[in-house]
Amino acid sequence: MSLLTVDRLCAGYGALRVLHDVSFSIEEGNVTVVLGANGAGKSTLLRALSGMIPATGSIELDGYELLSGRRRRPIALLGIGHVPEGRGTFGGLTVEENLRAGGYHRPRGEVERSITEWFELFPRLAERRDRLAAGLSGGEQQMLAIARALMARPRLLLLDEPSLGLAPKMTGTLFDNLRAIRERMDMTVLLVEQNAHLSLQIADDALLMTAGQVGPRRPAIALREDEQIRRAYLGA
Amino acid sequence: MTTFFQQIVDGLTTGVIYAAIALSLVLVYRTSRLVNFAQAEMATLGGFLAWQLSDWGVPFPLAIALAVAASFALGATMERTVVRPLHEAHNELALFVISLGILVVLINVEAWIWGYQVKAVPLVIDGPAVSIGSVLVSRQKLVIVAVAIVIAALLFVLFQRTRFGLAMRAAADNQPSARLLGLPVNATMTLSWGIAAAIGTLMAILVAPQQFLQPGMLLPVLLYAVAAATLGGIDSPVGAVIGGLIVGVVENLAGTYVPGIGQDFKSAVAFLIIMGVLLVRPQGLLGSKSVVRV
Amino acid sequence: MSAIMRRLRQPRPRLPIPRWVNLVVGIAAFAYLLYAPLVSPSYSNTQMAMVCVYAVAGLGLHLLTGMTGLISLGHGFFFAVGAYTAAILSGTQGWPVPVSFVVAAALGWLLGFLFGLPALRLSPLALSQVTLALALITPSLIKRLDFMTNGSAGLSVDVGDPPAWSGLDKDQWILYICLLIALVAYLVTLALSRGRTGRAMKGLRDNLPVATTLGVRATTTKSFVFATSAAFAAVGGVLYTLVIQYVGADAFGLTFAIALITVIVVGGLGSVPGVILGAVFVVFVPSWASEVSPSASGLIYGVALVVFMFVLPGGVIGVLRAIGHPVVSRFHARRSTAQPPVPQEQEAGRR
């Protein structure tokens, strides 16, 4: 069943239009990766989905149209969590406060329980719970940003370039962690990632994006085998 | 030696006032990335409101409460109407010019309504100065210090112990992220402006008997408050308080002991502090580094 | 409501007025200005001279704010330096006025450069903090230097008497000096803003990293601009002393610094002719307003700053462009009936 259905989505920055009639859908419970060259509009797509930039067309989340209505509600309340490019952690807040901010709209008891769960899953964060987020390493900040977004229990998680600026070893750990999270909870993820090799391993589906347009959805496993894709994105 | 301690204590009690206005500047800066040069004059306007109400026969405590509430509303309204559209457009030059415009408007509106004749604002507490050891402090100053401590404590509780305070800090830290998480960013901004204006007004009423209530009363204080906020870190509330106390003491000691400065030229100390801090440590004592990035 | 706001705030391109029209209008205006002082009452000559005073200082501030995006509240200080230089050198010491001009310009330039050395390393925000402080301490600094400045009492001077051969009254003679200096300042500003320096400055304003990569030396250009704009302000100060014949410490505080900013905001940030309109505004409008109430004249500065920045960021020039566009494009269309008018222009005209 499709959780998110996007139809003829157009968006951009001022006069510059980046997305041209983008249409696709993603399946509930799946990880869908968006692959594409620099400047293809991958981050713009996520920004349009989460309402950071104005867009036209249709974005339907589980049957609820996000682009209708005069004023868009905060996406966190609609069930979308967005981990932006560059992570966007609150550097001046402690690790724990970052998580609390993520759970702002949930009842206090649930927040406490979730925080405990996250600290069990990531002992690194637990050790640093009272430290300022600015003092964490890039990989730790990325995990914190993901955990913070998941504190709101989103139906759909948008992940923008999580491996950006991380050392290869950290990137490996990050994807291991993502896998661990998937095992713990059902989640639907739309992932934008430069590292096609790792992301195709974790993903169920893949979308190819070129020049502001999205191609048909394909199983990730098929792309892993596809000679052309290998050459274009995997550098093999 | 007694003079020295007296100078320190005098500096601290003055510094409390600088700290309070600096705190207002910092609260506003954190939400709107604007050093609001009209902040001190908004406070003076609040002082006039309190005087006017009490002149009409409203009991003084009630007049204070009404003036503070009105200032809160004025600050919040300014944020919602004029400041937010320009802040969202990242038009810092326009925000700066408008803060100057509002400063000039307020001074002249006050002058138009109330004139330049100094208004006698009653002391909240009267009586002989209290002596602590060999140092003398007036009762009104003790009240000012107590009020400042209460304000600081309330703000601490708001920021550190409440959910909304967490949202305020998160929104000040990284606004786009705060919006993505669905935090009530707009409400935090409006409230910050309201709180800043309310603090200023409360202080203006308390210092009015000694500073002489007239248009532009707090302009000299604005200079020291900017110095205090710069020294403490323009986005750090704790820094503003520490900065205010340091500036108060340094200014007072320099006026007394440094030859060539004297009581009339003390303001040069504030100028030197601002210049020096911005050059040596632009983020101030406790400010975050990101502020410095252009 | 917001649609109206958007229309008002929309930036307008320069009007496509032919060069010869500009030239003819300019020369006619200047000819009128040469003639007017001879037949105008003395108070109106003084007002015109004050327009020149604000225009010269405003052109300096325009160089800085309009073109580099930096803002300074400190130009009241440099203005005061010029004013006191003239009052002390030509007034107290009795040296000829041209010497005051040269010394004031040099001193303003030097002080601007020295102040800029540290200050220009700061962010625009920090620069506004430092210059605010400079504006607030200027009156007390002047009072502190009372052995030269005579403190709060100030200095009354008698400078700039017309030479006997001219047969002019003092107010006429001084207005001519002001007009001459303002013209020179105007032409220098035009040259600076259209030449190589102007392009470098606009680059710095719009995109610092890119301009730096392209070889614009940020610090050098900014220091040069800041020092030059300070020199303009100082020259404006000399004119001020000539016109008012008195200098006092309290004239050069924050209010004055804000008045200078009003000059460049009201006309239209970044527009050289706008500075002249802004100078006309700050001299005439408050004096009309003060007939209502003394506070009304100050109030009008503040309201103008808020309204022009918030609603009409293009300033008076922006408004004129909006009104003038349909007229000018129709004029163009009539002149070239053979070819159809440029569609883009037509659309701009309809808006």
CA C200, C201, C204: angle at the middle one, nearest 5? Answer: 90
Nearest residue, CB atoms, B267 vs list C136, C295, C302: C136
**Interface contact B90, partner A, CB < 8 A:** no
Cβ pair B182:A105 closer than 8 A: yes
Pairwise CB contact (< 8 Å): A92 & B169 = yes
- pLDDT tens digits along B36-72: 999 999 999 999 999 999 999 999 999 999 999 999 9
Across the interface, of A84, A97, A102, the residue whose CB is closest to B176 is A84
Over the range A100-135, which residues count as b (16 or more CB within 10 Å of their CB) and which as e? bbbbbbeeeeebeebbeebbebbebbeebeeebbee
Integer angstrom CA distances of residue A65 from A9, A232, B269, C33: 12, 35, 60, 66
Rounded CA-CA distance A157/A188 in Å is: 6
Calculate mean pLDDT across residues B240-260: 90
The span from the CA of A62 to the CA of B180, in Å, is 19
Residue B294 has pLDDT above 50, yes or no: no
Please tell me which chains touch C, using 3 or more CB pairs under 8 Å as the contact test: B
Q: From B235, which residue of chain A is nearest by alpha-carbon distance?
A: A92
Torsion angle, alpha carbons of C43, C45, C46, C47, to 10: 90
How far is the C-alpha of A117 from the C-alpha of A183, rounded, in Å?
14
- CATH number, domain of B260, equals 1.10.3470
Using DSSP bridges, classify how beta strands A213-214 and A188-192 pair: parallel, antiparallel or unpaired. Answer: unpaired
Chain B residues within an 8 Å CB radius of A77? 182
Predicted ipTM of the assembly: 0.90
Burial class (CB in 10 A: 0-12, 13-18, 19+), A2: middle
Residue type, A81: G
Q: Which residues of B, range 124-163, sit inside 8 Å of A by Cβ? A: 163
Q: Considering only residues 210 to 229 of chain A, which have any Cβ-Cβ distance to chain B shorter than 8 Å?
A: none
Contact B166 A101 (CB under 8 A): yes
Residue C340, pLDDT score: 44
CATH architecture for the domain at A2-234: 3-Layer(aba) Sandwich (3.40)
Nearest residue of B to residue C302, measured between CA atoms? B101
What does the angle CA A199 – CA A202 – CA A204 come to, to the nearest 5 degrees? Answer: 100
Question: What values do phi and psi take at A81, rounded to 5?
Answer: -105, 135
B16 pLDDT tier (thresholds 50, 70, 90): very high
Largest CA distance in chain B: 58
| Token reading at A228 | 């052309």
User: Which residues from C are below 8 Å from B268, CB to CB?
Assistant: 137, 140-141, 144
Q: CB B176: neighbour CB atoms within 10 A? A: 15
Q: Is the pLDDT of residue B93 over 80?
A: yes
Q: Does B142 touch chain C (CB under 8 A)?
A: no
- State the best of B105, B269, B273 to mutate against chain C, taking most chain C CBs within 10 Å: B105
Q: Answer yes or no: do C129 and B294 touch at CB < 8 A.
A: no
* Segments making up each domain of chain A, as ranges: 2-234
Note whether B270 contacts C: Cβ–Cβ < 8 A.
Answer: yes
- CATH classification number, C40-293, choose in 1.10.3470, 3.50.70, 3.30.410, 3.30.1140: 1.10.3470
The amino acid present at C129, given as its one-letter code, is: Q
Query: B187 falls in which pLDDT band (50, 70, 90)?
Result: very high
Q: Consecutive sets of 10 residues in chain A, 236 residues long: mean pLDDT of each?
A: 88 86 90 86 90 88 79 77 90 94 92 92 90 91 93 91 87 88 86 86 89 85 76 61
Residue B170 touches chain A, beta carbons under 8 Å: yes
Give me the pLDDT at residue C213, please: 65
Q: What percent of chain B has pLDDT over 70?
A: 98
pLDDT in tens, A151-182: 998 989 999 998 888 888 888 888 888 888 88
Contact C258 B275 (CB under 8 A): no
Burial B203-232 (b: 16+ CB within 10 A, else e): bbbbbbbebebbbbbbbbbbbbbbbbbbbb
pLDDT at C349: 35
Domain containing B271 equals: 2-291
Determine, for residues A76 and B290 on separate chains, whether the beta-carbon distance falls below 8 Å: no
Say if the Cβ atoms of C71 and B96 lie within 8 Å: yes
User: Does B182 contact chain A (CB < 8 Å)?
Assistant: yes
CA distance B131 to B138: 9
Q: Min CA distance, B291 vs chain A (Å)?
A: 12
| Strand order across the beta sheet in which A2-13 lies | A16-27, A2-13, A55-61, A64-65
| Number of residues in chain A | 236
Residues B148 and B199: their CA atoms lie apart, in Å, by 9
Kindly state the DSSP code that residue A132 receives in the 8-state scheme: B
Average pLDDT score over residue span B149-156? 95
DSSP state at residue B124: S
Across the interface, do B177 and A104 touch by the CB < 8 Å criterion?
no
CA distance C88 to A213: 73
Q: Which residues pair with C246 in a beta bridge?
A: C156
Instruction: Please tell me the predicted confidence (pLDDT) of residue C343.
Output: 41
- pLDDT tens, residue order, chain C (351 aa): 467 777 777 777 777 777 888 888 888 888 888 888 888 888 889 999 999 999 999 999 998 886 677 889 999 999 999 999 999 999 888 899 999 999 999 999 999 999 988 887 778 888 888 999 999 999 989 988 888 888 888 899 888 888 888 878 888 999 999 999 999 999 999 888 777 777 776 776 676 666 666 656 677 778 888 999 999 999 999 999 999 999 998 899 898 999 999 999 998 888 888 899 999 999 998 888 888 888 888 888 899 999 988 888 888 888 888 787 777 776 666 555 544 444 443 333 333
- Residue C341: the pLDDT is 41
Mean pLDDT of chain B, nearest integer? 91
Question: Would you call B100 an interface residue with chain C, using a CB distance cutoff of 8 Å?
Answer: yes
Residues of chain C neighbouring B292 (CB-CB closer than 8 A): 123
Do the beta carbons of residue C136 and residue B222 sit within 8 Å? yes
Q: Give B182's contacts in chain A (Cβ within 8 Å).
A: 74-77, 104-105, 152
* Res C331: pLDDT: 66
Sign of CA dihedral B219, B223, B228, B233: positive
Domain ranges of chain C: 1-31+314-351, 40-293
CB–CB contact A74 B179 (8 Å): yes
| pLDDT tens sequence across A41-64 | 888 999 999 888 888 889 988 888
Number of compact structural domains in chain B: 1
A near C: at least 3 beta-carbon pairs less than 8 Å apart: no
With beta carbons under 8 A apart, name residues in chain B contacting C125: 33, 35, 92
What does the alpha-carbon distance between residue C25 and residue C37 come to, in Å, rounded to a whole number? 19
